[in-house]
Chain A
Amino acid sequence: MAFAHETVLILSCLALFALTLVHVRPGTARAAALGLSALAVVTALWGVGAQGELFFGAYRVDAFSQGVKLLLAVGFFLAVAFGEGVRGIEAEHEPEYFLFLAVSVLGLTFLASGVELLTIYIALELSSYSLYILVPLRRHEHIHQVEAGIKYVLFGAMASGVSLFGMSYVFGLAHTTRVDDLLRLYPELVSSPLGLMGLTLMLGGFFYKLALFPFHFWTPDIYQGAANETSGVIATLPKVGAVAVLIRLTGLGAESAGFATVLTLLAVLSMTYGNLAALVQEDLKRLLAYSSISHAGFMVAGILAGTVRGYAGALYYVAGYLIMNLALFHVIYALAPRGQNITLADLRGLYRRSPILALTLAVAAFGLAGIPPTVGFAGKFFVLAAALEKGHLALVIIGALNTAISIYYYLKMVKAAYSPEEEGGEAPAGRVALSPLGWALGCAFVVSILVIGALPGPVLGWFQRALSWAA
Chain B
Amino acid sequence: MTPAFAVETNVGYPLLSVLVFLPLAGALVALMLKGDRTLKAWAFAVTVVEAALSVPLWTRFDPSTHRFQFLEMADWIPTFHIRYALGVDGISLLLVLLTTFVLPLCVLSSWRYIERRVKEFVVSLLIMETAMIGVFAALDLVLFYVFWEAMLVPMYLLIAVWGGPRKVYASIKFFLYTLAGSVLLLVAVIALYLKAGTFLIPELMDQGYSFAFQFWVFLAFALAFAIKVPMFPFHTWLPAAHVEAPTAGSVILASVLLKMGTYGFLRFCLPITPAAVAYLAPVFLWGSVVSILYGGFVALGQTDMKKLIAYSSVGHMGFVTLGIFLVNQRGIEGSILQMINHGITTGALFICVGILYERTHSRLIRDNSAVGAFMPVYVAFLGLFSLSSLAFPGTNSFVGELLVLVGAFQQNKLLAAFVIPGALLAATYMLRMLQKIIWDRVSGHHHGHDEGHGGEHEAGEAHRRRLFDLDLREAGMLAFLSVFVFWIGLNPKPFLKVMDRSIAHVITQAQAVEGLPEGGMTGLMNTLFPALGHSGGEENAAPEHE
Residues of A within 8 A of B (CB): 309, 312, 366, 371-373, 377-378, 381-382, 384-385, 388-389, 393, 396-397, 400-401, 403-404, 407-408, 411, 415, 418-419, 422, 455-457, 460-461, 464
Judge whether A464 and B79 touch: CB under 8 Å: yes
Complex CA–CA separation, A403 to B483 (angstroms)? 44
CB nearest to A387 among chain B residues:
B190
- Counting from the closest, the 7 A-B pairs by CB-CB distance are A372-B146, A400-B183, A404-B180, A457-B77, A385-B190, A372-B149, A404-B183
List 11 interface pairs A-B (beta carbons < 8 Å), by A numbering. Answer: A371-B150, A372-B145, A385-B193, A385-B194, A388-B191, A396-B190, A397-B184, A397-B187, A411-B172, A419-B168, A460-B79
Q: Does chain A have a CB within 8 A of B161?
A: yes
Let me know if A372 and B187 touch, CB within 8 A: no
Q: Could you tell me the distance between the alpha carbons of A393 and B216 in the complex, rounded to whole angstroms?
A: 12
- Say how far A232's CB is from chain B's closest CB, in angstroms: 25
User: In the complex, which residues 136-194 of chain B have their Cβ closer than 8 Å to any Cβ of chain A?
Assistant: 142, 145-147, 149-150, 152-153, 156-157, 160-161, 167-168, 171-172, 175-176, 179-180, 183-184, 186-187, 190-191, 193-194
Contact of B77 among A393, A397, A456 (CB under 8 A): A456
**Residues of B with C-beta under 8 A to A464:** 79
User: What is the bound-complex CA distance between A389 and B146, given in angstroms?
Assistant: 21
Residue contact B78 to A400, C-beta cutoff 8 Å: no
Cα distance, A418 to B161, chains bound together (Å): 7
Q: How many A-B residue pairs have CB under 8 A?
A: 86
Query: Does B76 touch A at the CB level, under 8 Å?
Result: yes
| A-chain residues with CB within 8 Å of residue B78 when the two chains form the complex | 457, 461
Complex CA distance for A400 and B190, rounded to whole angstroms:
12
Known A372-B149, A388-B191, A400-B184; contact A415-B172, beta-carbon cutoff 8 A:
yes
Interface check B80, CB cutoff 8 A: yes
Quick one: which of B75, B156, B167 has the most chain A CB within 10 A? B156
Cβ contacts under 8 Å, A373 to chain B: 146, 150
B188 → A minimal CB distance (Å): 10
Interface residue from B153, B160, B172 paired with A371 (Cβ < 8 Å):
B153
- Identify which of B172, B183, B193 contacts A401 (C-beta below 8 A): B183
Q: How far is the CA of A56 from the CA of B208 in the complex (A)?
A: 56
Known A419-B160, A456-B77, A457-B77: A408·B187 in contact at CB below 8 Å = no
- Nearest residue in B to A380 (C-beta to C-beta)? B186
Partner of B186, one of A384, A419, A461: A384
Minimum CB–CB distance for B115 against chain A, Å: 15
Contact A418 B160 (CB under 8 A): yes
Interchain CB contact under 8 A, B79 and A400: no
Chain B interface helix/strand/loop/mixed: helix
A422 to chain B, nearest CB (A): 6
Query: Please, which residue of chain A has its CB at the minimum distance from the CB of B184?
Result: A400
Minimum CB–CB distance for A295 against chain B, Å: 16
**B76 with A403: CB separation less than 8 A:** no
The residues of A that contact B179 with a CB separation of less than 8 Å are 371, 403-404, 407
- For residue B145, which residue of chain A has the nearest CB? A372
Query: Which residue on A lies nearest to B180, using beta carbons?
Result: A404
C-alpha gap A259/B187 in the complex (Å): 24
- B79's partner among A403, A415, A457 (CB-CB below 8 A) is A457
Point out the residue from A371, A384, A415 that lies within 8 Å of B187, measured CB to CB. A384
Tell me the bound Cα distance from A366 to B175 in angstroms: 12
Q: Are B150 and A422 in contact, CB atoms less than 8 angstroms apart?
A: no
With a cutoff of 8 Å between Cβ atoms, the chain B residues found around residue A415 in the complex are: 160, 168, 171-172
Q: What chain B residues lie within 8 Å of A419 (beta carbons)? A: 160-161, 167-168
Beta-carbon nearest neighbor of A406 in chain B: B179
Give min CB distance, A333 to chain B, whole Å. Answer: 25
Task: Select from chain A the residue with minimum beta-carbon distance to B147.
Answer: A372
The distance in angstroms between the C-alpha atoms of A9 and B145, with both chains bound, is 43
The A-contacting residues of B in range 181-212, CB under 8 angstroms, are 183-184, 186-187, 190-191, 193-194
User: B171 to nearest A CB, angstroms?
Assistant: 8
Contact A396 B168 (CB under 8 A): no
- B135, chain A: closest CB distance, angstroms: 12
A411: B residues at CB distance < 8 A: 156, 172, 175-176
- Which residues from B are CB-within-8-Å of A461? 78-79
Shortest Cβ distance from residue B7 to the other chain A in the assembled complex, whole angstroms:
19
Contact A384 B190 (CB under 8 A): yes
For the complex, give the distance between the alpha carbons of A309 and B194 in Å.
13
- Most chain A CB atoms below 10 A, which of B152, B160, B190: B190
Q: What is the CB-to-nearest-CB distance from B312 to chain A, in angstroms, rounded to a whole number?
A: 29
Per the bound structure, the CA–CA distance linking A218 and B168 in Å amounts to: 34
- Besides the contacts A404-B183, A457-B78, what 4 more A-B pairs have beta carbons closer than 8 Å? A371-B179, A408-B176, A418-B157, A457-B77
Alpha-carbon separation in the docked complex, A418 to B180 (Å): 23
Contact A422 B183 (CB under 8 A): no
Distance, CA A371 to CA B168, complexed state (A) = 19
Q: Which residues from B are CB-within-8-Å of A397?
A: 184, 187
Q: How far is the CB of A373 from chain B (nearest CB, A)?
A: 5
List B contacts of A418 (CB < 8 A). Answer: 157, 160-161
Q: Which of B160, B180, B190 makes the CB contact (< 8 A) with A388?
A: B190
A460 vs B190: C-alpha distance when bound (angstroms): 17
Q: Once bound together, how far apart are the Cα atoms of A396 and B190, in whole Å?
A: 10
**A390 CB to nearest chain B CB (Å):** 10
A369 CB to nearest chain B CB (Å): 8
Q: Which of A393, A404, A408, A457 has the most CB of B within 10 A?
A: A404
Contact of A372 among B150, B156, B167, B175 (CB under 8 A): B150
C-alpha gap A408/B80 in the complex (Å)? 30
